[in-house]
Chains A and B, each alone.
Chain A
Amino acid sequence: MKNIKNIILVNLVLGFLLLGSCSESSDTIKESQIDTSTPILSDLDIWLRSNFVAPYNIEISYLWGASDTDIARFLYPINENGVERWSETIRNAWIEPYNQLGGHDFIANITPRQLVYSGGFNYNPNSPTITLGVAEAGTRITFFNLDFLDYSNEENIRQPLRTLHHEYAHILNQKIPFSDDYGLITPGDYTAQWFNVSDQEALDLGFITPYASSQPGEDFVEIVANMLTNSKEGFDAIVSTASPTGQAYIRQKQEIVVAYFQENFAIDLYELQELTYQALLDSLD
């Protein structure tokens, strides 16, 4: 028994010596290893914080590197000279109209948390198409080709606003799905080859745009996007160029879309249309 005690004692002494020799290389945490210093803010950064982060909880991401996006695509950030005007445009033509009709915090409650501004085009590989915008998981919307905005041209500004309303309608759909009945109006004409469908062919088949013919989810948000970037008369004029059958289909879809907004968000889509389209006009030179 005495021998056992001696062995334990010797081992403990040896152990303390060895542990002591290890202690020099252990890493003691003295301060945070994460860079928590305040970033350098430009006047533009401060303006964005005051006008988007504080009131709407939306971050505008306009400074970024290749690794922040799809590295397989040749994308680049917006020229900073265009940031403020585009931000004002979307505030006036998207945020304020929704807040006015849906409630003061409508956008703050249901919103993408980050808007990413890309200057160049997003060309799709192996396809004769470009991606106008991307909505990811309801939290982030990326706009492309913002360096090429021409505020003297209504159609030129309509396009990215259409992208915004399109992507935001996806986010609303993610919060509250629309009725499956929508997809049953023109079930047989959805196609993955939508880019081979002309504008007129799409209208005649009952789709407001060729992209709407890609799948019901896109069809729904394309109705929203095109209503909110045109006047009522302008939208009706587009629909009137469709075949009688196509017009009937589009009107059926429009009814479901209008009811969706009224029943789920208490928003009169026609009233919203007036506000968003007027803001589009006001944004022009």
Chain B
Amino acid sequence: MKKYIKYILSLLLLTVVLNSCEVDRTEAIFEEAPSDRIQKNIEELRTLLLSQSQGFSGVYFPNNSVVGGVNFHMNFTEDLRVKITSDFKSNTELTDTRYDVVTGTTAAELVFTSGSRHITDLIQDGAQGFNTFYGGNSFQYVGEENGVITFKEVRSDGVFVISPSGFTDFETESVASADITYTNREVFTEVDCETASVYDNLVLAVDNAGQSTNYILNYDSTNFFFDAGTTDEEGVSSRQGLGVAFTLIDGEQAILISPALEVGGNSFENFILDSESDKVQYVASVNGATATISQTSLSAPTGEDIMDLPGSIYVYDVADGTNPLLSPCFRDLVIEQINTNLDNRFGAGTLKFSFYYLFLNLEGGCSNLAIFLEDANGGLYRANYCIVANIESNTVFFDYLGPYSGSNDAFFEENLQPLMDFFSGPQGLLYTNEGSFSASINSYLNASGSFTSLDTPSLRSYGYFFP
């Protein structure tokens, strides 16, 4: 009996002693308490932000799956104020607002706590209705390496990378830099509609040890975004989105894309303007391979899709937003010209173009081009016009016969003539199926298509079909 009592006593004592160590074994993993580690993280970021008397410069990609990047210049001071400029909009004047470094969910966060428009314009452009660039005002501190500080925006997975500005006078040089990069961004959007063609495409050409890969780039100037499409040797097509930032790298004009383009084991990200070229082109060189972004003339499509229309009612609606397939010249020379005509006749903003339906008839009768105008109170006015289709060599020709029905038709005819002229050009239109409809505001499963004028190849309308 005594023997058993000895064993039981021994085991009980050992269990008590060993259990008392359990908590400490877990604690030994970290040298500091969690709150101390977070506080240290906060102090580290505060010190970094205040370490540069001339501030930081960097590019913020709020959401590189749908939009591009914006250049920022920021100078932080100890009284928790920050001067900021950016090139998101043409007004690059510095703002002077508040910031803070606070405890985030897992790390220190840099928060722009009062509303600098350079930050808030990316979050929500309220003046333009609900229109976000997916930005935020709270940024998790990821880390610092060689002076480069990386942040992550929680909501949209945005990436913000800043480094010392290198300026000698932040106040003037930051604004000047933002003005330069803002202007550089226009290089892909300034188009001479008289001479341009929608078949002059931006192309990203990769030359990797003699092996070439070409990506056709549709550039969305509203969202600074490339829709890059390519076809491999086996004829398989693929597409990917690339956020774009026009920036300066070591003082040279450059394009930064995000995510980086991976081709043949090389990663292309920074494209520098080739100042010796006689045309605008940006070049990235990695491990002997080069990738070049430039305007290149491509052959026009065959137009045979006109024989395979996915529906009979074709719609273009301004309210759906933009798509690279809707050419800027179509917006300027057709839609905006109609709005100008209406303003001149009825007063500014009284009526504006809203949408058109084209009820297609390829059997020789009238196709009804129904144009809808909207007044300042949202009231709609419809006018109908007859255009007769004739298809030859995969090109569709429309003859304009005049008003179709209703009293509005003749009343508005002169004002709406640019759209009738677009459809009835003597050299005809090339039609192309474009897959499901996608635009910056609305996207639908409906099949879409584009009509390109062969008289003025800079004009291309993009819309969707009802069956």
* Chain A residues close to B by CB (< 8 Å): 1, 3-4, 7-8, 11-12, 14-15, 18-19, 21-22, 25-27, 33-35, 40, 42, 62-67, 71, 74-80, 119-121, 123, 145, 147-148
Contact = CB atoms under 8 A, between A and B. Distances in A.
Interface in B106-130: 109, 111-117, 119-120, 123-124, 126-127, 130
A4 B123 contact: no
B114 A77 contact: yes
Interface residues of B, number: 50
29 contacts: A1-B2, A4-B6, A11-B9, A11-B13, A14-B17, A15-B17, A19-B17, A21-B21, A22-B24, A25-B27, A33-B36, A33-B39, A64-B111, A65-B111, A65-B138, A67-B138, A74-B130, A74-B135, A76-B119, A79-B97, A79-B120, A80-B98, A80-B114, A120-B120, A121-B126, A121-B130, A123-B130, A147-B115, A148-B126
In order of increasing CB-CB distance, the 9 nearest A-B pairs are A63-B113, A65-B111, A65-B138, A33-B35, A11-B13, A79-B115, A80-B114, A15-B17, A66-B138
Contacts of A18: 17-18, 20-21
Nearest to B12: A11
Contact of A145 (B79, B116, B126): B126
A63 B114 contact: yes
Contact of A22 (B2, B21, B80, B98): B21
Secondary structure at the A interface, as helix, strand, loop or mixed, is loop
A76 B20 contact: no
A40 B9 contact: no
B72 to A, nearest CB: 16
Nearest to B104: A67
A8 B9 contact: yes
B132 A22 contact: no
Interface string B327-369: 0000000000000000000000000000000000000000000
B119 A26 contact: no
Interface centre among B14, B105, B130 (most CB of A within 10 A): B130
Nearest to B29: A25
Given A11-B9, A26-B27, 7 more contacts: A7-B9, A11-B10, A15-B16, A18-B18, A63-B113, A65-B137, A76-B124
Given A67-B154, A78-B115, A121 B24 contact: no
A181 B182 CA distance: 62
Contact of A3 (B2, B18, B109): B2
A102 to B, nearest CB: 33
Interface in B69-110: 79-80, 97-98, 100, 102, 104-105, 109
Contacts of A74: 123-124, 130, 132, 134-135
Contacts of A148: 126-127
Contacts of A15: 13, 16-17
Interface in B1-33: 2, 5-6, 9-10, 13-14, 16-18, 20-21, 24, 27-28, 33
A8 B17 CA distance: 13
A62 B114 contact: yes
B239 interface: no
A65 B113 contact: yes
B324 interface: no
Interface centre among B28, B35, B39, B120 (most CB of A within 10 A): B120
B29 to A, nearest CB: 10
B136 interface: yes
A145 B127 CA distance: 10
Secondary structure at the B interface, as helix, strand, loop or mixed, is mixed
Interface string B285-303: 0000000000000000000
Contacts of B13: 8, 11-12, 15
Nearest to B120: A76
A74 B130 CA distance: 9
A7 B114 contact: no
B10 to A, nearest CB: 6
Contact of A63 (B9, B100, B130): B100
A35 B108 CA distance: 14
B33 A4 contact: no
Contacts of B18: 18
Contact of B154 (A11, A71, A145): A71
Interface string B30-72: 0001011001000000000000000000000000000000000
B301 to A, nearest CB: 38
A250 B124 CA distance: 38
A223 B386 CA distance: 54
B94 to A, nearest CB: 14
Contacts of B117: 79
A42 B132 CA distance: 31
A147 B17 CA distance: 64
A42 B98 contact: yes
A18 B17 CA distance: 7
A78 B111 contact: no
Contacts of A33: 33, 35-36, 39
A71 B123 CA distance: 12
Contacts of A11: 9-10, 13-14, 17
A71 B13 CA distance: 53
Contacts of A34: 35
Nearest to B117: A79
Contact of B79 (A40, A65, A78, A121): A40
Contact of A120 (B33, B98, B112, B126): B126
Interface centre among A22, A147, A148 (most CB of B within 10 A): A22
A19 B138 contact: no
Nearest to B78: A40
Given A19-B17, A65-B138, A77-B115, A27 B33 contact: yes
B129 to A, nearest CB: 9
Contacts of B135: 74
A67 B126 contact: no
Contact of B123 (A12, A14, A67, A76): A76
Given A76-B115, A80-B98, A121 B6 contact: no
Interface centre among B17, B35, B138 (most CB of A within 10 A): B17
Contact of B137 (A40, A77, A121): A77
